[in-house]
């Protein structure tokens, strides 16, 4: 079985999860989705307050080596156990999730094109983009509704780590993309083209 790896990158709130969800809903078990976020390093030994202050937008926050290892395993046709991360706890949970090898693996994350070894593994690199004001508003709503945050904490985190790390690491990795998708979450033309490419690969014996 030949496997293709598709990377979906872009800053927080750009619409990576929304685009990926549409692809997963369309292809079901034929496609596997893995988040770089699942590979955030453990923050054991710190209080919740200390964990909340970690810079989660810096490359050093991720165990990218483990993700690379897991992707190699999947490409070799072996299943992996993917860590499960909690944004509410700011830590990995004790759970892991079995992921079976498929012909198409999608990896999403803010910094997946920043690490050269990981970047070079992707057959197709997609960067999703949305205006900064729209994405911070979306992130604020999402983090308050789904990730247990206060508006004040979202603003503080955005100004102290998210924005500077975006400028230093995420935005410069845009140039490595093969395709830029504007309004990622709801760009139906781009979605259809990506679906056609995935379908062509799945249908190739
Ligand atoms: N085109 C869009 N219009 C309105 N809301 C959107 C759109 N795309 C995404 N969203 C919303 O914005 C928030 C962030 O999008 P998400 O896909 O989670 O971004 P990312 O994974 O890049 O951080 C989510 O709550 C999502 O429902
Ligand atoms: O414990 C955590 C871990 C991560 N974050 C923030 O999440 C985003 C990345 O997720 P997206 O789905 O791409 O938005 C990143 O900007 C981190 O700041 C967090 O707040 N807490």
What is the 197 CA–ligand 2 centroid distance (Å)? Answer: 29
Predicted confidence (pLDDT) per residue in 9-61, tens digit: 999 999 999 999 999 999 999 999 999 999 999 998 999 999 999 999 999 99
What is the 57 CA–ligand 2 centroid distance (Å)? Answer: 7
Which H, E and C letters describe the chain, residue by residue? CCCEEEEEECCCCCCHHHHHHHHHHHHHHHEEEEEHHHHECCCCCCCHHHHHCCCCCCHHHECHHHHHHHHHHHHCCCCEEEEEEECCCCEEEEEEEEECCCCEEEEEECCCCCCHHHHCCCCEEEEEECCHHHHHHHHHHHHHHHCCCCHHHHHHHHHHHHHHHHHHHHHHHHHHCCEEEECHHHCHHHHHHHHHHHHHHHHCC
Ligand nearest to the CA of 183: 1
What is the 162 CA–ligand 2 centroid distance (Å)? Answer: 8
Residue 184 pLDDT > 80, yes or no? Answer: no
ipTM: 0.94
Residue 205 pLDDT > 90, yes or no? Answer: no
- Ligand 2 pocket by C-beta < 6 Å: which residues? 12-13, 16-17, 37, 40, 56-57, 87, 90, 110, 162
Looking at residue 186, its pLDDT comes to 80
Using 50, 70 and 90 to split pLDDT, how confident is the model at 114? very high
Residue 167 pLDDT > 80, yes or no? Answer: yes
Predicted confidence (pLDDT) per residue in 92-107, tens digit: 999 999 999 999 999 9
Using 50, 70 and 90 to split pLDDT, how confident is the model at 185? confident
- Give the mean pLDDT of the chain: 95
Looking at residue 26, its pLDDT comes to 96
Looking at residue 3, its pLDDT comes to 94
What is the 22 CA–ligand 1 centroid distance (Å)? Answer: 12
Looking at residue 29, its pLDDT comes to 95
Looking at residue 183, its pLDDT comes to 84
- What percent of the chain has pLDDT above 70? 100
């Amino acid at each position: 079985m030949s496997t293709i790896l598709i990377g979906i990158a872009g800053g927080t709130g750009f619409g990576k999860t929304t685009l990926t969800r549409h692809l997963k809903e369309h292809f079901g078990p034929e496609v596997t989705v893995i988040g770089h976020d699942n590979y955030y390093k453990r923050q054991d030994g710190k209080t919740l307050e200390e964990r909340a202050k970690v810079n989660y937008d810096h490359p050093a926050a991720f165990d990218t080596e483990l993700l690379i290892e897991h992707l190699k395993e999947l490409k070799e046709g072996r299943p992996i156990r993917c860590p499960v991360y909690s944004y509410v706890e700011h830590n990995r949970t004790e759970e892991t999730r079995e992921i079976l090898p498929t012909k198409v693996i999608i990896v999403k994350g803010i910094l997946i094109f920043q690490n050269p070894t990981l970047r070079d593994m992707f057959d197709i690199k997609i960067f999703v983009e949305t205006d900064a004001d729209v994405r911070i508003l979306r992130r604020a709503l999402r983090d308050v509704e789904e990730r247990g945050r206060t508006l004040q904490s979202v603003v503080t985190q955005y100004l102290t780590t998210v924005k500077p790390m975006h400028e230093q690491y995420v935005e410069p990795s845009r140039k490595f993309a093969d395709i830029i998708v504007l309004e990622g979450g709801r760009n139906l033309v781009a979605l259809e083209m990506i679906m056609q490419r995935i379908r062509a690969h799945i249908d190739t014996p």
